[in-house]
């Protein structure tokens, strides 16, 4: 048994006035008491000066990629041992940054599931989708999840279920990182996507759809998906997500993960933004900055309708998206006008619920796993505190520094 005490404590949903003492035993939170709580004699207490909060989620990662240029594509050609090494390294980078749970939405060869099930101490909990389902030559086809036609779609979903995935990921639109695919369009027809979702739901699996295009968002909604990734709203006339679409997202309870967050220093070190990305934006007269502003405006309208916003970086997908920068995705929300509470909630309690782990982690609450992050600074008025982790516990086990 041990105690952790801090003057500022965010419990996953709100700040607790006056701080708190959190009691941990056997990997589980046993109590969340006042800062002045007199702990039992046998219980050592560490008093921190900063902010204590639940460990963070990165709800969109590609553990098989080291985030180097073309890293995701290369993973599709590596042997299992090499892929496993990258997965563990990615997890370490996530862990030391304060991430205690990742949701992997783009695996190769089901290696992420193998690592998930190998119970490595001190590495983040994994929710895994296996190889994402896509059309022939479609977005991320090189990860091995190509399906062609309704029969193959159903078979692939059932095969994923047999192998033990936690969620099905489908590429509803093309993507920026796969040459020859169209992020403005759709990849499947509506009936195919419905068959995919119905089959997944039939075996109890949620579905999240990658959708950059407005057409892809609409199609995913009509098919009944549970979450939409990116949610960019690309149309030939700009970034546009009309009110009726947002109303449908809210009514359906679909969680949106805008995959914000990138390391601008890494962007600057590259000769130019990735070609496909800049080409896509140029096609509609936008650059990175104006596109980001337009996206944040969409997210504010989404939030005002009560839509659940989840934080995930798309870590591993590109050089500007390394593992371990979820704090920047949270900060991007506050820069876009969100309160610190709403922004951090999107990476804790809301993310946990969206990943169907709300009764396991994501809050400082007795009975939940002891996934705890302590950061340097007062998070209540300084979002950059999230970039300064000083202690990370995953199921009560301290994460070894790198």
Give the binding range for Zn ion (CB under 5 A) out of 64-72, 79-87, 188-196, 306-314. 306-314
Q: By CB under 5 A, is residue 314 in contact with Zn ion?
A: yes
Q: How far apart are CA 214 and CA 220, in angstroms?
A: 10
Specify the residue, 75 or 385, whose C-beta has the smaller distance to Zn ion: 75
Specify the residue, 317 or 373, whose C-beta has the smaller distance to Zn ion: 317
Cβ neighbours of residue 70 under 8 Å, at least 6 residues apart?
A: none
Give the binding range for Zn ion (CB under 5 A) out of 119-127, 177-185, 276-284, 315-323. 315-323
Cβ neighbours of residue 270 under 8 Å, at least 6 residues apart?
A: 319, 320
DSSP 144-208: S-B--SHHHHHHHHHHHHHHT-SSEEEE-S--TTSTT--TTS-SS-HHHHHHHHHHHHHTT--EE
Cβ neighbours of residue 229 under 8 Å, at least 6 residues apart?
A: 60, 105, 169, 208, 209, 210, 211, 257, 259, 312, 314
46, burial (CB in 10 Å: exposed 0-12, middle 13-18, buried 19+): exposed
Specify the residue, 209 or 364, whose C-beta has the smaller distance to Zn ion: 209
Specify the residue, 28 or 288, whose C-beta has the smaller distance to Zn ion: 288
- The least distance separating Zn ion from the CB of residue 105, rounded to whole angstroms, comes to 5
Q: By CB under 5 A, is residue 107 in contact with Zn ion?
A: no
Give the binding range for Zn ion (CB under 5 A) out of 50-58, 267-275, 307-315, 361-369. 307-315
Q: Which residue has the tokens 């003057």?
A: 7
Specify the residue, 54 or 316, whose C-beta has the smaller distance to Zn ion: 316
- The least distance separating Zn ion from the CB of residue 398, rounded to whole angstroms, comes to 30
Token pair in block for residue 135:
């059309």
Specify the residue, 9 or 208, whose C-beta has the smaller distance to Zn ion: 208
Closest CA to 324 of 127, 91, 123: 91
- The least distance separating Zn ion from the CB of residue 52, rounded to whole angstroms, comes to 30
Q: How far apart are CA 147 and CA 6, in angstroms?
A: 51
Give the binding range for Zn ion (CB under 5 A) out of 86-94, 310-318, 344-352, 360-368. 310-318
- The least distance separating Zn ion from the CB of residue 106, rounded to whole angstroms, comes to 5
Give the number of residues in contact with Zn ion, rule: CB under 5 A.
2
Q: How far apart are CA 186 and CA 213, in angstroms?
A: 7
- The least distance separating Zn ion from the CB of residue 368, rounded to whole angstroms, comes to 28
Specify the residue, 259 or 348, whose C-beta has the smaller distance to Zn ion: 259
Give the binding range for Zn ion (CB under 5 A) out of 67-75, 287-295, 312-320, 381-389. 312-320
- Positions touching Zn ion (CB under 5 A) are 314, 317
């Amino acid at each position: 048994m041990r105690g952790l005490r801090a003057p500022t404590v965010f419990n996953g949903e709100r700040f607790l006035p006056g701080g708190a003492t959190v009691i941990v035993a056997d990997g589980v939170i046993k109590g969340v008491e006042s800062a002045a709580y007199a702990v039992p004699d046998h219980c050592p207490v560490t008093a921190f000066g900063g902010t204590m909060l639940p460990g963070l989620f990165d709800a969109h990662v590609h553990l098989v990629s080291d985030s180097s240029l073309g890293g995701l594509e290369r993973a599709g050609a590596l042997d299992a041992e090499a892929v496993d090494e990258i997965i563990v390294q990615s997890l370490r980078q996530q862990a030391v940054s304060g991430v205690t749970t990742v949701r992997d939405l783009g695996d190769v060869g089901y290696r992420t599931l193998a690592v998930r099930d190998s119970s490595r101490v001190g590495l983040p909990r994994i929710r895994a989708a296996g190889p994402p389902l896509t059309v022939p030559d479609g977005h991320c086809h090189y990860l091995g999840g190509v399906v062609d036609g309704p029969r193959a779609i159903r078979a692939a979903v059932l095969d994923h279920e047999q192998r033990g995935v936690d969620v099905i990921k489908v590429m509803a639109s093309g993507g920026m990182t796969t040459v020859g695919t169209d992020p403005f369009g759709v990849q499947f027809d509506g009936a195919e996507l419905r068959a995919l979702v119905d089959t997944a739901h039939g075996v109890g699996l949620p579905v999240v759809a990658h959708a950059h295009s407005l057409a892809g968002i609409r199609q995913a909604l009509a098919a009944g998906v549970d979450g939409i990734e990116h949610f960019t709203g690309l149309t030939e006339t700009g970034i546009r997500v009309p009110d009726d679409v947002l109303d449908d997202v809210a009514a359906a309870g679909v969680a949106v993960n805008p995959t914000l967050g990138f390391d601008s220093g890494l962007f600057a070190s590259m000769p130019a933004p990735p070609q496909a990305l800049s080409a896509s934006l140029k096609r509609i007269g936008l650059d990175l900055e104006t596109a980001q502003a337009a996206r944040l405006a969409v997210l504010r309208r989404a939030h005002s309708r009560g839509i659940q916003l989840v934080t995930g970086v798309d870590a591993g997908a590109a050089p500007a998206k390394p593992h371990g920068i979820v704090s920047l995705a949270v900060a991007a929300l506050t820069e876009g006008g969100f309160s610190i509470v709403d922004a951090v909630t999107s990476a804790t309690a809301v993310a946990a619920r969206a990943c169907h782990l709300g009764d396991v982690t994501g809050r400082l609450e007795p009975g939940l796993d002891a996934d705890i992050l302590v950061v340097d600074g007062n998070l209540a008025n300084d979002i950059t505190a999230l970039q300064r982790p000083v202690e990370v516990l995953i199921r009560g086990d301290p994460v070894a520094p790198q």
